Structure 1
């Protein structure tokens, strides 16, 4: 949470504004690459689950689903490589770079802040608290739904990919165990598709919350992921 000293800055007209550098360039770059990769993955993944009607023939246009699958696999590689790089930056970057990976889940006072934020989002609190990085509710949602959800999609996705990659392919060596752990290929397909809808639901809430906080909390949220600087306007 923003300290009292950080919030104090005299300005003309009685209005205070303070800016703090929060998100380093690698974090911001990863964020937008992930946005693009997930957009492609969700669109193509939906059509892989409910494919277009394919008619027999030699027309090159009949290979449409092949292109869809290729785009899905390529975006999957980009997502996984970017996520691995993001984990590395969580270890070497600033404190905000690791916030969504290591929330203080065992601190009772932190959960009190989570409940306050929940009340704020349900319009049960009059004034918001200000945080330099993610607020506690955002951090817990990012950890359980986005971080763990993305890991689940990477593991199940590459496990399914290994089925068509052939015996001895690295994806089968690294992720093949997921297939027998979860039962069978069809179960993994179903869970992977369920993960699509869970992540999509999270993204919709995430975008809404960012827009809402940018307006109601009078602090920059969206522009911070572009410039890296968070400004507080009261």
Structure 2
């Protein structure tokens, strides 16, 4: 039985962010400043939509529905060691933690990028802050921006490994699920969040 899990907004955000991040990274590496700015604005815009959708969106898109406490996350980590972790239709506790980390890093990267646009290019929604951005401040912001990018690259690698591992453990294709929005509902699941719309 297949159930709807990821709505179109979540899926479009996910894959658009992948493409925009790759574009932003290589445009910076190749010194394409104009392209980097355009892609960066697109990334910041997509992030804003996702943050709003995390409050107003469908069940599995809302942050409140995959915010797990430390105790819940620890229990899930223990179940991983047994090789038989609990199944979650939406984000499992480890996946949910990574989502929040990635969104936080994307937010820091976007804000520092917008500050750099204001301080160096004299443009963008934060342009009013330009008079407050001294050379030292811009240097600091640039350092944070670059460091955040490297942190994101590391977290993305961990995210991909987690997706592969979870797909194998639960015998489901999580990449395909993020394309179609549908996941198989196990005949028996210990997940407290396995509700969905039957297809």
* TM bucket normalised to smaller: 0.7 to 0.9
Between structure 1 and structure 2, the one with the greater Rg is 1
How far apart in 2 are the matches of 1:171 and 1:178? Answer: 11
- The residue aligned with 1:223 is 176
- The residue aligned with 2:96 is 139
How far apart in 2 are the matches of 1:177 and 1:89? Answer: 33
5+ long unaligned stretches in structure 1: 1-17, 49-64
| Higher relative contact order structure (alpha carbons within 8 Å, sequence separation ≥ 6) | 2
How far apart in 1 are the matches of 2:75 and 2:6? Answer: 24
2:70 to 87, 111, 124: 111
**In the alignment, does 2:18 pair up with 1:30?**
no
5+ long unaligned stretches in structure 2: 188-199
Q: Cα RMSD over matched residues?
A: 2.5
What are the equivalent positions in structure 2 for 1:45-124 lying under 5 Å apart?
A: 45=28, 47=29, 65=31, 68-99=32-63, 103-104=66-67, 110-120=69-79, 124=81
Structure 2 length as normaliser, TM-score?
0.82
Structure 1 length as normaliser, TM-score?
0.71
How far apart in 2 are the matches of 1:154 and 1:207? Answer: 22
Aligned length: 186
Render the CA deviation track for 1:83-140: whole Å, top value 9, x for unaligned. Answer: 11222322332121123x77536xxxx422312333455xx22312100110012112
1:80 aligned counterpart, secondary structure: helix
1:20 aligned counterpart, secondary structure: strand
How far apart in 2 are the matches of 1:177 and 1:163? Answer: 8
2:88 aligned counterpart, secondary structure: coil
Render the CA deviation track for 1:194-231: whole Å, top value 9, x for unaligned. Answer: 00100000111111111111112223311111010111
- The residue aligned with 1:159 is 115
